[in-house]
């Protein structure tokens, strides 16, 4: 008889544990854990072409859990989870937009934006959370918790609310999440706790509380979250007809997502579904860039910083929990980490927003990182690039309004589209319209 497909394994010392146990670090060395599937069994079930056919057959008109852009790949996400235990909204199936504008500005052959802001709670976190909450539900957890810069908490709150009798607890850094993000766990009925501290302190405290009270922690240090998050890689590859891009550009905060994307592509190659791995570019804001600094210093030592204020509040993290996994994934791919200034981030955001693809400042950090990597020759003109936009612009309205209104400290908006106030009078409106007033064109400085 076959045992479970998956176990937990420490990425430091290799010790392993059953997946059924709720555990967030190795008992022996406190290292990060990962879910390890039995790939020999998966390979025996199907070859690469068979896996591709299976996933393609689920793309159209599929009912049930396979409609989700996470559970379409159920066998590679959590093979031991019975389909009946899945808690799905359904998430994923986000668009991959070709960006002619970015191709022209950066003189690059093929640039696309994977808009994860199109998920049910408007961020990529829904992919990891459907896995995290489903597994918590499966193992009988009644209480789930996370610390968050705003998006993890929104996702956890929504998924926990879908499970009868499951209580959610979120811990947020006071004044450091957007109003829209704050509204989400409140609306979903979570116990919403605000601490006068930054994210790095919030998560440290919550990890201890969860250990003491045996609460299921659903931050990305929980390896089951990473399994759902990997589906960004699967879905991107599938949307490109299983021909992966040369680069995946990802904004990095706590570093779970970039680790997951690296793991996802690596799974696909192990199973013969794709034949090469993209390089990973991790993008940070200068205000919170421990990994970009570590990259610049040749990864000589583990870098921790005190995060400063940034428009990219969701990645305002100085001590990323998944640091070791992210460094491993980026180095194995031949990629890099890079950082951008507030000005670069917000100008990049305005450029992408102008094309109708409305992204958040964190996503714009990836766009700015991409433009810089092109300038520095890290990315070559003939390469194919996918930039992951992690959340929707509507979650961060204030940053957009402040930029266009010229009210962001330290940023002079190159592409400002100011609100024009005129009298409530037909002639005044007509005069304005016939004057030919339009938003300033891209590529030139605004007024
Ligand atoms: N983009 C957005 C919109 C995010 O919310 C986050 C992380 C990231 C990028 C970075 O992803 O942490 O996996 O490297 N937000 C977490 C949260 C920290 O609590 O919502 P990461």
Instruction: Report which of 416, 393, 391, 392 is spatially closest to residue 403, judged by C-alpha positions.
Output: 416
In this prediction, residues 210-228 reach a mean pLDDT of 95
User: How far is Cα 91 from Cα 133, in angstroms, rounded to an integer?
Assistant: 13
User: How far is Cα 128 from Cα 32, in angstroms, rounded to an integer?
Assistant: 17
User: How far is Cα 269 from Cα 276, in angstroms, rounded to an integer?
Assistant: 6
Cβ(78)–Cβ(135) below 8 Å:
yes
Compute the distance from residue 363 Cα to the ligand 1 centre, in Å: 10
Position in ligand 1 atom list of the atom nearest CA 151:
20
Alpha helix stretches (DSSP H) within 177-230: 179-187, 199-213, 223-229
Band (pLDDT 50/70/90 cuts) for residue 447 is: very low
Whole-number pLDDT of residue 446? 38
Maximum Cα–Cα distance for the chain, whole Å?
A: 82
Compute the distance from residue 316 Cα to the ligand 1 centre, in Å: 9
Whole-number pLDDT of residue 441? 59
Whole-number pLDDT of residue 23? 84
Cβ(316)–Cβ(199) below 8 Å:
yes
253 lines ligand 1 (CB under 6 A): yes
Whole-number pLDDT of residue 439? 63
Position in ligand 1 atom list of the atom nearest CA 154:
20
Position in ligand 1 atom list of the atom nearest CA 117:
3
93 burial level (CB within 10 Å; 0-12, 13-18, 19+) = middle
In this prediction, residues 20-48 reach a mean pLDDT of 93
State in Å, rounded, how far the first CA of the chain is from the last one.
72
User: Which range (242-256, 291-305, 428-442) has the least confidence?
Assistant: 428-442
Position in ligand 1 atom list of the atom nearest CA 363:
1
Whole-number pLDDT of residue 440? 59
Cβ(110)–Cβ(353) below 8 Å:
no
Whole-number pLDDT of residue 3? 84
Task: Compare 184 and 446 and report the one with higher pLDDT.
Answer: 184
Residues 254-302: tens digit of each pLDDT: 999 999 999 999 999 999 999 999 999 999 999 999 999 999 999 999 9
In this prediction, residues 182-208 reach a mean pLDDT of 97
In this prediction, residues 85-99 reach a mean pLDDT of 97
152 lines ligand 1 (CB under 6 A): yes
Task: Compare 7 and 1 and report the one with higher pLDDT.
Answer: 7
User: How far is Cα 145 from Cα 182, in angstroms, rounded to an integer?
Assistant: 15
Distance of CA 376 to the CA centre of its chain: 25
Instruction: Report which of 13, 32, 19 is spatially closest to residue 326, judged by C-alpha positions.
Output: 32
User: How far is Cα 108 from Cα 135, in angstroms, rounded to an integer?
Assistant: 41
252 lines ligand 1 (CB under 6 A): yes
Q: For 107, phi and psi rounded to 5 degrees? A: 50, 60
The pTM (predicted TM-score) of the whole model is 0.96
172 lines ligand 1 (CB under 6 A): no
Sign for the pseudo-dihedral over CA of 256, 259, 265, 266: negative
In this prediction, residues 83-111 reach a mean pLDDT of 97
148 lines ligand 1 (CB under 6 A): yes
Compute the distance from residue 100 Cα to the ligand 1 centre, in Å: 27
Residues shown for the chain: 447
Residues 42-62: tens digit of each pLDDT: 999 999 999 999 999 998 766
Whole-number pLDDT of residue 442? 60
């Amino acid at each position: 008889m076959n045992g479970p497909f998956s176990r937990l394994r420490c990425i430091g010392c290799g010790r392993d544990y059953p997946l059924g146990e709720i555990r967030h670090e190795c008992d022996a060395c406190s290292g990060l854990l990962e879910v390890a599937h039995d790939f020999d069994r998966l390979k025996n079930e199907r070859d690469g072409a068979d896996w591709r056919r299976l996933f393609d057959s689920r793309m159209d008109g599929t009912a049930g859990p396979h409609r989700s852009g996470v559970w379409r790949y159920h066998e590679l996400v959590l093979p031991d989870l019975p389909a009946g235990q899945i808690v799905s909204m359904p998430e994923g199936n986000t668009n991959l937009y070709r960006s002619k504008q970015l191709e022209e500005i950066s003189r690059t052959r093929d640039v696309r934006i994977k808009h994860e802001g199109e998920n049910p709670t408007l961020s990529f976190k829904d992919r990891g959370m459907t896995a995290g909450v489903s597994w918590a539900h499966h193992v009988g957890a009644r209480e789930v918790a996370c610390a968050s810069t705003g998006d993890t908490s929104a996702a956890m709150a929504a998924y926990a609310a879908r499970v009868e009798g499951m209580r959610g607890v979120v811990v947020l850094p006071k004044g450091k999440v957007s109003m829209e993000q704050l509204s989400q766990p409140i609306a979903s009925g979570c116990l919403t706790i605000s601490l006068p501290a930054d994210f790095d302190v919030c998560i440290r405290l919550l990890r201890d509380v969860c250990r003491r009270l045996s609460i299921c922690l659903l931050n990305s240090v929980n390896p089951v979250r990473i399994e759902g998050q990997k589906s960004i890689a699967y879905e991107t590859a599938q949307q490109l007809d299983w021909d992966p891009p040369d680069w995946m550009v990802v904004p990095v905060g706590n570093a779970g997502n970039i680790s997951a994307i690296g793991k996802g592509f690596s799974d696909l190659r192990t199973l013969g579904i794709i034949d090469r791995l993209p390089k990973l570019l991790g993008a940070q804001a200068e205000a919170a860039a421990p990994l970009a600094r570590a990259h610049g210093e040749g990864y000589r030592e583990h870098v921790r910083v005190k995060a400063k204020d940034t428009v990219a509040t969701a990645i305002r993290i100085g001590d990323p929990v998944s640091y070791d996994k992210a460094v491993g994934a980026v180095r194995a791919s031949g990629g890099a980490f890079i950082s951008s200034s507030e000005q670069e981030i917000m100008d990049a955001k305005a450029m992408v927003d102008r094309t109708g693809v409305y992204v958040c400042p964190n996503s714009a950090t990836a766009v700015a990182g991409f433009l810089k990597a092109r300038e520095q020759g890290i990315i070559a003109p003939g390469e194919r690039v996918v930039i992951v936009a992690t959340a929707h612009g509507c979650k961060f309205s204030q940053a957009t309004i402040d930029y266009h209104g010229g009210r962001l400290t330290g940023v002079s908006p190159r592409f400002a589209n100011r609100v024009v106030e005129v009298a409530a009078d037909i002639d005044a409106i007509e005069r304005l319209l016939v004057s030919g007033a339009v938003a300033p064109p891209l590529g030139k400085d605004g007024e």
